[in-house]
Chain A
Amino acid sequence: MKKLLLLALALVLAVCVSAASAKDVVIAFSQIGQESDWRTANTDDLRSAIENHAGWKLVYDDGQQKQENQIKALRNFITQNVDYILFTGVVSTGWDEVLKEVNEAEIPLLLIDRIPDCADKIDYVAAFGGDFVEEGRRQVAWAGEYLKKAGRGDEDVNIVIMEGTTGASAQTGRTEGNLKALKEYPHLKLVGQQSGNFTRAEGQAVMESWLKSIDKIDVLIAQNDDMALGAIDAIKAAGKVPGKDIIIVGCDSVKAAFDAIVAGEMNCTVECTPLYGAFVVPTIEALERGEKFDKTVVHPEEGVFDVDGGIDLGTVKSVKAADVISQRRY
């Protein structure tokens, strides 16, 4: 009886596998987890873009913020012999081994959002991601240009930088951009730099301490909106007015940040779009047609949103947040 059951199970499995491999293009996606609204929008957009595409099948794995989970998922994808692997790594190091295995299995690799440190040593088809250094530059440049416009261009201004999770490529890139841009605005004085781990709770706690240890803070650069939103609560608790006493520049452009900007509690958010579906799908279609890619880097177009709009940052001009809030999807 047991043997019969096993046999039946094996048959069903075999039929399933052959049915899937016969026609469907199987695309596997190893995602970090659901750390923020941004990540959720990123996941939803890619999932719906792939699942709604005729003849494509998605195998999705949620890594729950753990590298070992993601490594396991990638090895599973190799065993299942999927056609494409989309990958976002929770940290930037430690992927050499498993990504080499992906290369050996000759499965085309598409890097989403974060590029691991070992990118030089492995083969990948394309990398989709925001230009983190440029985003960091825009954050500081916006503050500099905004102050100039407000007639405070020559005033000495104290600025604090709240960094993301130490070692994440968004943190290293944005910090590089932040610091590079600070050199162009010598009157912006860096008085604090600390990690808020990209979360609201830690953003709140870090700001709370800064408000006590640093005498005067004029500008807060938060490397994501969640930390900025957490900091807003801490600023209120200290009896200061967020957005006025302290100018707050976030990053990512999530819906909650737009709400805060419209409410006057936040000043600006630099976009880091999570909507990659529109860029990833054509690439896979082209690969299916047999076109060749070699480590192509695709930066999606991104904007800057603030209270009044019209601040020129060289590469981009800011847009009034209230005008576009109704079109935001995340």
Chain B
Amino acid sequence: MDLRKVTITIDGKKFEAIEGQSLIEAAKNNGFYIPTLCHFKEIYPPLGTCRVCTVNINGKPDTACTRKVFDGMEVEVNTPEVLDNRKAIVEMLFAEGNHYCPACAKSGDCELQRKGYEMGISSSRFPHLFEERPRDFKDDRIFLEHNRCILCKRCVHEVKTNKGENVFYFQNRGHNMLVGMDYEKAKELTDEQVLEAAKLCPVGAIIAKGKCSVKPFGDRKFDVDKNIKWIQSEDMELNIPKDGKKKIVATTSLAGCFGCHMSLLDIDLGILDVLELVEFNKSPLTDIKKFSKQCDIGIIEGGVANSENFEVLKEFRKKCKIVVALGECSIWGGIPAMRNTLPLKDCLEEAYLNSISSENNENIIPYHEDIPKLLNKVYSVSDIIKIDYYIPGCPPNAEHIWKAIKNILFGAGEKVAYEEFKYD
């Protein structure tokens, strides 16, 4: 067959491509990366569902997976505007579903998570919806977790029985759309086909029961490269004023696990260097309970789950010039926000009356005016007050935290490289 070559321009560089090829494949063949979530191979018609590969083609926004290359095609992939559109879509997906990375078997191998790292998403501009979606355990071999599904259509298109019948298909429409499974047809799949289906899913929505191998941190597909040299604190010293005046830091843990504080201490002896530069005021690290002066920076771990969290947070905003949300719980709720899809009543009853650790005939739900009152759901700190910076991670790495904090205190704001992003 005659393969006619065409010339396309991507971000100012000229590339050769085969006529009829999709732009996303042509770019890939030329070593040019265009991010996508739904595209996994060249198919007709292309899925074109996630819209993450939106680029500018001859000045107009369009998706790289649905457009074929043509001679004279001018593509912009990395302009600030296009980058922001793509980032917005990924943020939308995080806000739409319920993505608790630390509790997901796909974490580290998840393409959505990877896109988040790549695009440097430290918080979603869209408020998380926390709407409950079903978890389907009915099939013997496939667990379908709709909370994580991004409706990319890969499985609908690709997973078929040997007779060519669909195992998965979209149900409902709009916001209520989800992927339905045909349990009878699913039985016709071989074990290998089930594994392939789970592998095909870019997120942790299709899980092969008992077959998902959880790999250790560091060995997963999108983990941080072990060989990365973390930027050492010495690198920063140029920016640090020599007047010897220490910056005042306050920290707190709201509805969190103290993991971020633990991580904060993980710089080991580095903490001694840190203490040269900063002085701690109110913080669990110093056990100072009350603010004694105005602080330069307040670091908040955890979301807002009760009335006390709310008061503490409000006070931090008053007493600190800069407020930083540290870790996933403070940024959007994190693991404690798993309760957000359930009524508070169910949570209280499960915790105090019905749990396996409750005594028989237990009928008391603690209530006293001195006990903090639970809010109807767990809020992100940005729901309550203005937040100046976000440091993502569950928990964020120690070096990462200190690099970011020093940058904020002494440098020109926070800059975090892809390798340092981490949601789990």
The answer on A and B forming one complex is no
